[in-house]
C-alpha cells in the first residue's frame, strides 16, 4: 500500500531530477567561452535540486507539492531559458 509519505518522497525525487535535467539542458546551450558566471549559477541550481531531492525526501506532502509545482513551472519555460542561454542573455 502506498502511503502519503512514500508519495511525497517520490514527488520530491521526481522534482529534483526534473530540475537537474533542465539545468543540463540550459548549461549545454551556454556559450563555450566566457560564461563562467551563468555556468556556476545554473550548476548551483542543479546541485541544490539534486541535494534537496536526496536530503528532503522526508518532506511533508504540501512542501513536496510546492517544489513539484515550482519545478514544473520552470520546466514549461525550458525553451525560453535555452534560447536565452544560446543568445547569452541569461544571467
User: How many C-beta atoms surround the C-beta of residue 15 within 10 A?
Assistant: 25
- Give residue 18's pLDDT band: very low, low, confident or very high (50, 70, 90): very high
Q: Could you say which DSSP state residue 77 is in? A: T
Q: Does this model's pTM top 0.85?
A: no
Task: Provide the pLDDT for residue 34.
Answer: 77
Answer yes or no: is pLDDT of 37 > 90.
Answer: no
Q: Which residues contact 79 (CB under 8 A, 6 or more apart)?
A: none
H-helix or E-strand spanning residue 4 = helix 4-29
Amino acid at each position: 500500500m502506498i502511503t502519503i509519505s512514500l508519495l511525497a518522497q517520490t514527488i520530491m525525487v521526481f522534482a529534483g531530477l526534473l530540475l537537474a535535467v533542465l539545468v543540463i539542458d540550459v548549461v549545454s546551450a551556454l556559450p563555450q567561452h566566457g560564461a563562467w558566471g551563468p555556468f556556476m549559477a545554473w550548476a548551483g541550481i542543479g546541485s541544490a535540486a539534486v541535494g534537496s531531492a536526496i536530503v528532503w525526501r522526508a518532506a511533508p506532502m504540501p512542501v513536496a507539492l510546492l517544489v513539484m509545482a515550482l519545478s514544473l513551472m520552470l520546466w514549461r519555460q525550458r525553451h525560453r531559458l535555452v534560447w536565452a542561454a544560446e543568445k547569452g542573455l541569461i544571467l
